[in-house]
């Protein structure tokens, strides 16, 4: 009997150690293996190999989720301090499970456990087959008698072996978002992170591109694209070791965030979302864009509203008559909605400047004696919808809320108050504050049921913070704030499931898939200068589809109205401009542009994007959007600050049917002008992709633009 039991245990051990756990999409393979010590190692990560299981022949032995305190010298994915002070963790394979959860989605879980301490780590993966996207996150729990301390808790680790690595980061500042910078990774550690809390993405966006063996190319080469679905502090670590292997750690930034985990409590990390392309940045972007439309954003295939915002026309200086007078401009443009921005609320401390009123969310009776409901009805009389701006997480010291609830505010005891944009942040970790913030939205909507759109803003980052509610658990603040924000979003969406809401944070301070599943779009930047927006929208296009990027035509910049309009039509079109200043031709052009945008928007929003010419490489930028059936293509051509020595070669299109015949027509022309292109023939898709078309006739002029509609016949 003992002999049979021993044989059974040996066979079980062999089965465990022979386990190959494959997480695959149509073109990507991520393979794990259990080694002789019972630890999980990453065996392969790369393109699908043929035949199907060839990827299991690779012999990499890097531990999949590196723990602190043991023999590894790498930056760990997880660090735990146990009840007895032991700062180590060993994780051994227990089990795994893989099941389809939808026609295109497979979920895999891998359970690991410490053989000495009752700590369990579960690695979760969701593989989206057609989109070649993988989501990875981790659950940590334990059954020790007392809480344990977590000081590192990555969502995922990836290990890559190549000769060379190039990292592209997206960084900037207010009005300078998502500047792209690529660098060669040398031995040691490179960290991209944020410590700003509420407005985490202000300086560094939570996304990256990693190319191997050569700098990132648009349509060739191997590129890993990754982002973190978390509206808070993030950290990406890129460590090149002494053997030239690259190890990527992705997750919440543990800065000032040691987490005390109670027995039986589950700590769930946010998802690290990534794709691997062997066809360059372009395919990686298309993977993300199609995944986002289907899974990542609210109502990805639903309608989007064109709008006119009052901010550039009035600022906070308005009344009912002035606002209703602007409704006619929205009607003349032909947009769907009028959006009332900041300055409409508060009475004791009226919101006439940005130093008062935040927190007191009742209509200002001097400006709006008949309330928001009157504006909703007046807008409806003009045949347009009405939307409203809110910033419910914030408070001004000059407000009734500040006076009534000083315990609701994040601020340091025994220190002078610190202001950013004259405001402070409410302590959203407090359930009473969560009720208040939800109540701001709910009261606004329930009292004015015709409101059709919300712009949700957040203009202050987290500094000088202390939570009266968390008391001795201040190191939980950054994490619990974001979790609490999601609780509020969940409540809003439970009651208003399809209300269009823009995610805004003083520009691009919140641009992540943790929040976007609750929002229909985001505000990429307060910078609406047409020329600079080309770079901003180019950067965001690496991870987000066009219908998520709110792009408004304003008076920023020194370009023509046509140039600014052509740039905005590459995103989710809107206006923030004084329509009454338009002359007749400008008004006619803008009205026609709205109609043209409605006609082509399905291709721009849902088509395949090809970035044909980068603004970082030439003094022009060319973008192509092509429908899945290859019947319709829209090309956006922007000439920037053209130099006397610039030579613009013909542009070769991509993604067309080589056998199909196409007709090219310039659209969105200004009244009284004619196209400078003479493309009055039919062209084969093969010709357009191999020979291309000249998009700078006569050498081209600075700050000019064209939109071409290419249709199969």
pLDDT digits (tens, 9 = 90+) for 528-568: 999 999 999 999 999 999 999 999 999 999 999 999 999 99
Q: Is 459 annotated among the ligand-binding residues?
A: yes
Q: Which H, E and C letters describe 666-683, residue by residue? A: EECCCCCCCCCCCCCCEE
Q: Is 75 a catalytic residue?
A: no
DSSP count for the chain of H helices, then E strands: 13, 36
pLDDT at 9: 33
CB atoms within 10 A of CB 27: 18
Residue by residue, DSSP assigns 424-488 as EEB-TTSHHHHHHHHHHHHHHHHHSTTEEEEEE-------S---TTTTT-GGGHHHHHHHHHHHH
Q: Is 457 a catalytic residue?
A: yes
Q: Please state the φ and ψ torsions of residue 597, each to the nearest 5 degrees.
A: -60, -45
Q: Residue 4 pLDDT > 70, yes or no?
A: no
| Residue 63 CB contacts under 8 Å (≥ 6 apart), including other chains | 39, 40, 41, 42, 72
Task: Report the range of poorest mean pLDDT among 140-144, 383-387, 697-701.
Answer: 697-701
Q: Is 243 annotated among the ligand-binding residues?
A: no
In the chain the domains, ranked by start, together with CATH numbers, are: 20-296 (2.70.98.60), 609-712 (2.60.40.1180)
Task: Please state, in angstroms and rounded to a whole number, the distance separating the CA atoms of residues 416 and 397.
Answer: 13
- Model confidence at 73, pLDDT cuts 50, 70, 90, reads very high
pLDDT at 60: 83
Q: Is 241 annotated among the ligand-binding residues?
A: no
Q: What burial letters (b/e) apply to 299-325, b meaning 16+ CB within 10 Å? A: ebeeebbbbbbbbbbbebebeeeebbe
| Per-residue tokens: 602 | 């399905």
**Active-site residue (options: 75, 193, 360, 457):** 457
Q: Is 504 annotated among the ligand-binding residues?
A: yes
| Residue 435 CB contacts under 8 Å (≥ 6 apart), including other chains | none
Q: Residue 447 pLDDT > 50, yes or no?
A: yes
Average pLDDT of the segment spanning 169-176 = 97
Average pLDDT of the segment spanning 308-322 = 97
Q: Residue 11 pLDDT > 90, yes or no?
A: no
Q: Residue 124 pLDDT > 60, yes or no?
A: yes
Report the chain's mean pLDDT, rounded to a whole number.
96
Task: Please state, in angstroms and rounded to a whole number, the distance separating the CA atoms of residues 359 and 347.
Answer: 11
Q: Is 407 annotated among the ligand-binding residues?
A: no
Q: Is 526 annotated among the ligand-binding residues?
A: yes
- Model confidence at 341, pLDDT cuts 50, 70, 90, reads very high
- Model confidence at 470, pLDDT cuts 50, 70, 90, reads very high
**Active-site residue (options: 129, 258, 354, 526):** 526
Instruction: Evaluate the omega torsion of the peptide bond into residue 498 and state whether it is cis, within 30 degrees of 0.
Output: no
Q: Is 92 annotated among the ligand-binding residues?
A: no
Q: Which tens digits make up the pLDDT trace of 503-522?
A: 999 999 999 999 999 999 99
Q: Residue 10 pLDDT > 70, yes or no?
A: no
pLDDT at 1: 36
Q: Is 389 annotated among the ligand-binding residues?
A: no
- Model confidence at 221, pLDDT cuts 50, 70, 90, reads very high
Q: Residue 647 pLDDT > 70, yes or no?
A: yes
Instruction: Read off the pTM.
Output: 0.96
Task: Please state, in angstroms and rounded to a whole number, the distance separating the CA atoms of residues 267 and 270.
Answer: 10
| Residue 595 CB contacts under 8 Å (≥ 6 apart), including other chains | 334
Q: Is 584 annotated among the ligand-binding residues?
A: no
pLDDT at 444: 98
Enumerate the H helices of 505-654 as residue ranges. 513-516, 530-540, 561-568, 584-606
Integer distance in angstroms from the first to the last C-alpha of the chain?
Answer: 79
């Amino acid at each position: 009997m003992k002999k049979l039991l021993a044989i059974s245990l040996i066979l079980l051990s062999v089965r465990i150690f022979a386990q190959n756990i494959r997480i695959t999409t149509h073109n990507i393979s991520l393979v794990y293996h259990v080694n002789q010590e019972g630890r999980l190692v990453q065996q392969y990560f790369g393109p699908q190999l043929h035949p199907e299981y060839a990827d299991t022949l690779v012999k990499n032995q890097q531990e999949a989720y590196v723990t602190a305190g043991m023999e590894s010298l790498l930056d760990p994915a997880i660090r735990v301090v146990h009840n007895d002070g032991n700062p180590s963790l060993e994780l051994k394979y227990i089990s795994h499970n893989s099941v389809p959860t939808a026609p295109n989605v497979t979920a895999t879980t891998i359970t690991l456990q410490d053989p000495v301490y009752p700590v369990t780590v579960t690695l979760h993966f969701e593989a989206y087959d057609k989109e070649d996207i993988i989501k990875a996150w981790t659950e940590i729990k334990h059954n020790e008698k007392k809480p344990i301390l977590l000081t590192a808790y990555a969502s995922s680790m990836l290990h890559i072996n190549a000769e060379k690595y190039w990292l592209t980061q997206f960084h900037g500042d207010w009005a300078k978002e998502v500047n792209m910078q690529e660098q060669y990774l040398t031995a040691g550690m490179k960290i991209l992170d944020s410590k700003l809390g509420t407005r985490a993405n202000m300086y560094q966006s939570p996304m990256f591109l990693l190319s191997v063996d050569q700098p990132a190319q648009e349509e060739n080469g191997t590129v890993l694209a990754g982002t973190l679905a978390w509206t808070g502090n993030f950290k990406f670590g890129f460590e090149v070791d002494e053997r030239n292997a690259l190890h990527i750690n992705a997750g919440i930034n543990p800065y000032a965030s040691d987490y005390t985990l109670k027995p039986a409590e589950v700590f769930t990390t946010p998802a690290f979302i990534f794709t691997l392309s062997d066809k360059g940045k372009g395919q990686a972007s298309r993977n993300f864009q199609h995944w986002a439309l289907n899974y990542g954003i609210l109502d990805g295939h639903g309608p989007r509203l064109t709008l006119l915002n009052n901010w550039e026309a009035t600022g906070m200086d308005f009344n009912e008559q002035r606002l209703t007078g602007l409704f006619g401009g929205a009607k003349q443009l032909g947009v769907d909605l009028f959006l009332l921005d900041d300055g409409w609320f508060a009475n004791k401390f009226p919101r006439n400047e940005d130093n008062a009123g935040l927190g007191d969310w009742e209509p200002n009776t001097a400006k709006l004696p008949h309330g928001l409901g009157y504006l909703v009805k007046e807008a409806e009389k003009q045949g347009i919808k009405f939307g409203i701006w809110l910033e419910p997480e914030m408070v001004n010291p000059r407000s009734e809320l500040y006076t009534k609830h000083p315990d609701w505010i994040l601020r340091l005891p025994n220190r002078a108050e610190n202001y950013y944009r004259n405001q402070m942040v409410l302590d959203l970790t407090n359930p009473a504050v969560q009720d208040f913030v939800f109540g701001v939205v709910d009261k606004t909507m329930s009292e004015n049921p015709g409101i059709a759109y919300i712009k949700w803003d957040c203009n202050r980052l987290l500094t000088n913070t202390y939570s009266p509610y968390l008391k001795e658990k201040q190191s939980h603040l950054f994490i619990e704030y974001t979790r609490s924000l999601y609780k509020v979003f969940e409540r809003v969406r439970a009651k208003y499931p399809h209300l269009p809401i823009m995610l805004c944070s003083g520009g691009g301070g919140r641009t992540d898939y943790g929040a976007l599943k609750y929002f229909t779009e985001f505000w990429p930047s307060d910078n609406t200068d047409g020329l600079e927006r080309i770079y901003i929208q180019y950067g965001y296009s690496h991870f987000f589809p066009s219908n998520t990027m709110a792009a408004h035509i304003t008076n920023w910049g020194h370009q023509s109205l046509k140039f600014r309009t052509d740039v905005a039509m590459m995103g989710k079109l809107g206006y923030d401009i004084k329509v009454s200043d338009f002359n007749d031709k400008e008004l006619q052009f803008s009205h026609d542009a709205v109609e043209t945008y409605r006609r082509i928007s399905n291709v721009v929003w849902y088509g395949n994007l090809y970035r044909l010419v980068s603004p970082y490489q030439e003094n022009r930028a060319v973008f192509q959007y092509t429908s899945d059936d290859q019947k319709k293509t829209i090309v956006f051509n922007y000439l920037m600050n053209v130099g006397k020595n610039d030579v613009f070669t013909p542009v070769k299109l991509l993604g067309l049917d080589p056998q199909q015949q196409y007709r090219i027509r310039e659209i969105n022309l200004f009244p009284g002008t004619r196209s400078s292109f003479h493309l009055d023939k039919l062209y084969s898709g093969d010709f357009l992709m191999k020979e291309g078309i000249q998009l700078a006739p006569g050498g081209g002029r600075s700050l000019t633009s064209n939109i071409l509609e290419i249709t199969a016949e």
